[in-house]
Amino acid sequence: MDSPVELPADALSSPASIADLEDLSTAALIAPSESISRRRVLKSLFYGAGGMALYAGEIERHWIDVVHRDVHIAGLPHAFDGLTIAQLSDIHLDEYTEPFLLREAIDHINRMQPDMVLLTGDYVTAEVLSKKMTMSAAWQCSKLLSKIACPQKYAILGNHDIIAGAEEITEAIASANIPVLRNAFMPIERGGSRIWLAGIDDPVLGKPDPDHTMPVAIRNQAQEPIILMCHAPDFIDPLANHPASKSIALVLSGHTHGGQVRIPLLGAMHLPPGGRKYVEGLFEVGGMQLYVNRGIGAVGVPFRFNCRPEITRFRLRAEKPQIPYSHV
């Protein structure tokens, strides 16, 4: 008869239960895969965020959208039917807007060959660079704007221009033969007819005065509508209760940057005071038409996402004829 096999004394010194074996098996099979999965997710998020930042900062921020719009205006004189206006807004030179981007915008405008160019404020960014550097940016901006070929160029100031120094910014822009309208108006004449161009001081930090901007003498004139430049678009609501509003055909604004960074399903990450109701595009308010331009610059962060920089080309058209319905 064979003798029994002897095992080492410590081979099963602490026998494992079935439950213990199951725990060990689970740990061996699941923990590594969970760790790998977690690393993959974190890596994907990291690369995704990096890719989005690269796109928003280097691609979309420099990808100018040239928007073409027909605007029908009641009482527009026949001589102005077809007149084209280019709007350029919110340049913010030298915070995050490089000179080459402004040069590209001006090239777009010159290729359009518009009849008029309207600049709706914020040529620099205030309180980011030193005062000396901000003023240097203003004069550099003016030098670049002087390259706009269209002889009819007009401007207003924005809130950043007022903080930086309204008089200094006005002097810089005016040096490029671009009149700056602050609570002021002027006639635009063509073919023996006339319309009015008005520019109101910035509603957020300036002293807007509709009575000086659009005095009684230019209101309610037959076939002499008013085009108003107003940096902050939300001012159109109080303006709608002013007697001058009945004579205003079109208001051109900027200020909002269209939201600048717009997350799908969430919307704009930030909107400034004076630009939280009317963010971008065309609106009708109390008989006035308002257009909010997204601008070409960036503020706060060097990104644009789901919100390309914009230049707008308007073509003024006589009001659409109202064809009455008739029974046959």
pLDDT, tens digit, 9 for 90 and up, residues 114-138: 999 999 999 999 989 999 999 999 9
pLDDT, tens digit, 9 for 90 and up, residues 58-70: 899 999 999 999 9
User: Residue 28's pLDDT band (boundaries 50, 70, 90)?
Assistant: very low
User: Residue 33's pLDDT band (boundaries 50, 70, 90)?
Assistant: low
pLDDT, tens digit, 9 for 90 and up, residues 262-276: 999 999 999 999 999
Q: Which comes out higher in pLDDT, residue 20 or 199? A: 199
* Residue 99: predicted pLDDT: 97
Residue 123 CA to residue 314 CA, distance in Å, equals: 21
Mean pLDDT of the chain: 89
pLDDT, tens digit, 9 for 90 and up, residues 103-114: 999 999 999 999
User: Residue 37's pLDDT band (boundaries 50, 70, 90)?
Assistant: confident
